[in-house]
Amino acid sequence: MDLAWSADDAAFRDEVVAFLDEKLTPELRQAGRLMTSVYSDHEASMEWQRILHERGWAAPAWPVEHGGCDWSLTQHYIFSRESVLAGAPSLSPMGIRMVAHAIVAFGTPEQKDFFLPRILTGEVFFCQGYSEPEAGSDLASLSMAAVDDGDDLVCTGSKIWTTHATEANWMFCLVRTSKTGKKQEGITFLLIDMNTPGIEIRPLVMSSGEEVQNQVFFDEVRVPKSNVIGTIDDGWTVAKYLLLFERGGGAAAPALQVMAESIAEAAAQQPGPGGRPLLEDPVFAAKLAEARIRTKVLEVLEYRTLSAGVDVGGAASSTMKVLGTELSQRLTEIWLETAGPRGRVYQPHATAPGGPIADFVEPDGGYVSGESWQAVAPLRYLNDRAGSIYAGSNEIQRNILAKAALGL
Ligand SMILES: Cc1cc2nc3c(=O)[nH]c(=O)nc-3n(C[C@H](O)[C@H](O)[C@H](O)COP(=O)(O)OP(=O)(O)OC[C@H]3O[C@@H](n4cnc5c(N)ncnc54)[C@H](O)[C@@H]3O)c2cc1C
């Protein structure tokens, strides 16, 4: 394994850094640095997508003919890494990083022509309708019915935990078109226009107070069969393909490094036991050092995956998912401790959360206790608890690893 960038990769890195320096405004960097979850503020995220699209870098992992970049795996990693280090807002993954790959692999020419350019511009914004109240880890148990009626499928049922359903104008969705055979059979992958009559969205209030996830209800919603991706009853094939992109392909270590560095900087200023800086407290310093060492280990694992030429899927993405989310949870605990008593105050008005908090009225003068990084700490801590649940819970990832890596 060679950990040094080649001359070409170093030149590419310089090009990316120069672009980020020029294009990231202070407002965009603020939105990237003060994320209360893995999602940036929606407006900032869409603005950054527009800027990246202008440069041809909004969807680098797509095939070149659809607007992607002819980059090596290392270049993809460098781009993700430098973007995070520079404080760029995150882009919503559901369109660019998820359903687009399914459309490229299984879509008709008409579907590709319609959706792919509009996903790039942000004109089409997707949410993911996989989970149901009775189907999460055991996704194949899903029951939202889609009844065949001429040129349409008529959908009735409910999807839950749907991130960004209120912002999205399209949903990619798994529906049940047949109840015969194994439960993985009879599932269809469908794209639903969220403005179709019969759809009702109810936001779910998370423990952080944010309303980013939703429950979506469908009452005899008519969807043209031309919106099926792949073939009717064989949606499981498409769904499994897409999950490879949901769980893999990212660079988690750089974001964790940024968080660890910010914590260290803040802890050097915060009073600790005996009035000395918190960073000089041996117990605190040992906790932070352990998390930073684990972050370094994750980074080396990411490099190793890269140098082995492994892209997405399989045991590697399950390993990264478990290590990345558990380490992130640990760092948010240390962040909260660093923020001290002011970090315990719930003050969502002081942040730009991953989604706006409905009905929030800013108090007179917008009083904020402490600094904005302290105000973000409790929201980030609470939202991060979900990291080990979504995108396939960490218990499910460990089951995959037990089979794929340990042969159990
Ligand atoms: C913040 C957030 C955002 C989300 N966004 C979306 C979204 O946009 N679209 C979408 O479709 N879904 C979304 N989800 C749903 C997510 O995919 C599910 O929550 C997840 O798959 C787990 O399903 P569940 O909640 O039904 O829990 P369950 O499947 O009921 O699991 C409950 C517990 O049992 C454990 N468990 C279950 N089966 C096993 C097993 N075989 N072996 C060992 N342990 C097991 C689980 O690990 C978990 O701890 C989101 C969830 C969260 C929290």
pLDDT digits 0-9 by tens, 14-30 = 999 999 999 999 888 88
For residues 297 and 188, state if they share a domain. no
**Does residue 194 lie in a domain region?**
yes
Residues of the chain with pLDDT under 70: 1-3, 247-250, 308-314, 347-369
**Does residue 87 lie in a domain region?**
yes
Q: Whose CA is nearest to atom 53 of ligand 1?
A: 386
**Does residue 310 lie in a domain region?**
yes
- Distance from Cα 45 to the centre of ligand 1, integer Å: 26
Between vectors from CA 385 to CA 360 and to CA 377, what angle results, nearest 5°?
55
- Distance from Cα 6 to the centre of ligand 1, integer Å: 41
For residues 194 and 252, state if they share a domain. no
Domain boundary, last residue among 38, 69, 91 = 91
**Does residue 101 lie in a domain region?**
no
- Distance from Cα 39 to the centre of ligand 1, integer Å: 18
**Does residue 160 lie in a domain region?**
yes
Pairing of strands 170-176, 126-129: parallel
Residue 239 identity = A
Residue 319 identity = T
Q: Whose CA is nearest to atom 51 of ligand 1?
A: 390
**Does residue 193 lie in a domain region?**
yes
CA 316 to the chain's CA centroid: 18
- Reading the block at residue 65, the tokens are 């003919």
For residues 229 and 268, state if they share a domain. no
For residues 80 and 154, state if they share a domain. no
**Does residue 121 lie in a domain region?**
no
Q: How many domains does the chain have?
A: 3
Which of 38, 137, 215, 245 is the best mutation target for the ligand 1 pocket, counting ligand atoms within 8 Å of the beta carbon and taking the most? Answer: 137
For residues 337 and 361, state if they share a domain. yes
Dihedral, 113, 118, 124, 125 alpha carbons, nearest 10: 110
Q: Whose CA is nearest to atom 24 of ligand 1?
A: 136
- Which alpha helices (DSSP H) does 340-386 contain, by range? 372-384
- Distance from Cα 333 to the centre of ligand 1, integer Å: 22
Q: Whose CA is nearest to atom 44 of ligand 1?
A: 395
User: For position 256, which CATH number holds?
Assistant: 1.20.140.10
Q: Whose CA is nearest to atom 35 of ligand 1?
A: 395
Domain boundary, last residue among 235, 264, 282 = 235
- Distance from Cα 275 to the centre of ligand 1, integer Å: 44
pLDDT number for residue 368: 59
The closest-lying atom of ligand 1 relative to the alpha carbon of residue 94 is 8
Residue 272 identity = G
User: For position 201, which CATH number holds?
Assistant: 2.40.110.10
Cα separation, 197 vs 212, in Å, equals 22
For residues 153 and 297, state if they share a domain. no
Domain boundary, last residue among 171, 206, 235 = 235
- Reading the block at residue 179, the tokens are 């109840």
- Distance from Cα 389 to the centre of ligand 1, integer Å: 5
pLDDT number for residue 324: 93
Task: Provide residues with CB under 6 Å of ligand 1.
Answer: 128-131, 136-137, 161-163, 213, 386, 389-390, 393, 395-396, 399
For residues 371 and 258, state if they share a domain. yes
Contact 262, 213 (CB under 8 A): no
pLDDT number for residue 356: 35
For residues 75 and 162, state if they share a domain. no
- Distance from Cα 216 to the centre of ligand 1, integer Å: 17
Q: Whose CA is nearest to atom 29 of ligand 1?
A: 137
Contact 39, 45 (CB under 8 A): yes
For residues 231 and 255, state if they share a domain. no
Which of 187, 390, 400 is the best mutation target for the ligand 1 pocket, counting ligand atoms within 8 Å of the beta carbon and taking the most? Answer: 390
| Residue ranges making up the domain that contains 143 | 126-235
- Distance from Cα 325 to the centre of ligand 1, integer Å: 14
The closest-lying atom of ligand 1 relative to the alpha carbon of residue 399 is 42
The closest-lying atom of ligand 1 relative to the alpha carbon of residue 138 is 29
**Does residue 67 lie in a domain region?**
yes
For residues 283 and 328, state if they share a domain. yes
pLDDT number for residue 207: 86
For residues 60 and 206, state if they share a domain. no
Phi/psi for 252 (5° steps) reads -80, -35
For residues 398 and 323, state if they share a domain. yes
- Distance from Cα 82 to the centre of ligand 1, integer Å: 31
